[in-house]
């Protein structure tokens, strides 16, 4: 660890140890309980998500058939996100209300095939936008109120510059 002297305005200088952290950001999607398990199944069917991990709440009631989902980690390509049931009376829950309006941007080799698969799984297609240069972006609404923007993989800028120079 490196030590660094820090000065904040006229505050007294102090030695601070710099700690290097590696980090991964995983968005967490909260759905009204008990919809998270259904959403996980939808994401698998519609987008080919792979379930990596699952943690359930302990049974809260004897008559509850399926335990609520504390979190399910899904992997989609090289990205990951978490899906959880929102439980209003759970004081440890970091959100206090379920919201909608989450937007996923998904890049794929075949936009039309991805949209068709999502629609077959229960999503609603909201059309395709031509972005120019032959690039298209489709908009899909999942049954849980989230929007998925589906587009082709972005071409690396260096590759485009090389191709332009060769032409």
Mean pLDDT computed over 29-52: 94
What is residue 148's predicted lDDT score, i.e. its pLDDT? 94
**Which residues contact residue 111 at a Cβ distance below 8 angstroms, ignoring those fewer than 6 apart?**
128, 136, 137, 138, 150, 151, 152
Q: How confident is the model at residue 135 (pLDDT cuts 50, 70, 90)?
A: confident
Would you tell me how many other CB atoms lie within 10 Å of the CB of residue 116?
13
CA distance 54 to 131: 38
CA atoms within 13 A on the CB side of 72: 24
Q: Which CATH number fits domain 100-157: 3.30.720.110, 2.60.120.650, 3.20.20.80, 3.10.20.740?
A: 3.30.720.110
**The pLDDT of residue 89:** 75
Homologous superfamily in CATH for domain 25-90: 2,3-Dihydroxybiphenyl 1,2-Dioxygenase, domain 1 (3.10.180.10)
Cα 167 to Cα 163: distance, rounded to the nearest angstrom: 6
């Amino acid at each position: 660890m490196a030590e660094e002297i820090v000065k904040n305005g006229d505050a007294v200088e102090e030695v601070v140890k710099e700690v290097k952290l590696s980090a991964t950001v995983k968005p967490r999607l909260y759905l009204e309980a008990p919809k998270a398990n259904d959403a996980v199944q939808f994401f698998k069917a519609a987008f080919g998500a792979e379930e990596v991990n699952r943690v359930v709440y302990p049974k809260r009631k004897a008559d509850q058939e399926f335990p609520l989902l504390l979190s399910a980690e899904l992997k989609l390509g090289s990205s990951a996100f978490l899906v959880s049931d929102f439980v209003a009376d759970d004081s440890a829950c970091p959100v206090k209300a379920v919201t909608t309006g989450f937007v996923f941007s998904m890049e794929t080799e075949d936009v039309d095939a991805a949209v068709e698969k999502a629609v077959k799984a229960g999503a609603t297609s909201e059309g395709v936008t031509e972005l120019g240069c032959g690039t298209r972006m489709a908009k899909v609404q999942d049954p849980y109120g989230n929007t998925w923007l589906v587009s082709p993989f972005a071409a690396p800028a260096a590759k485009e510059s090389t191709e332009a120079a060769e032409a």
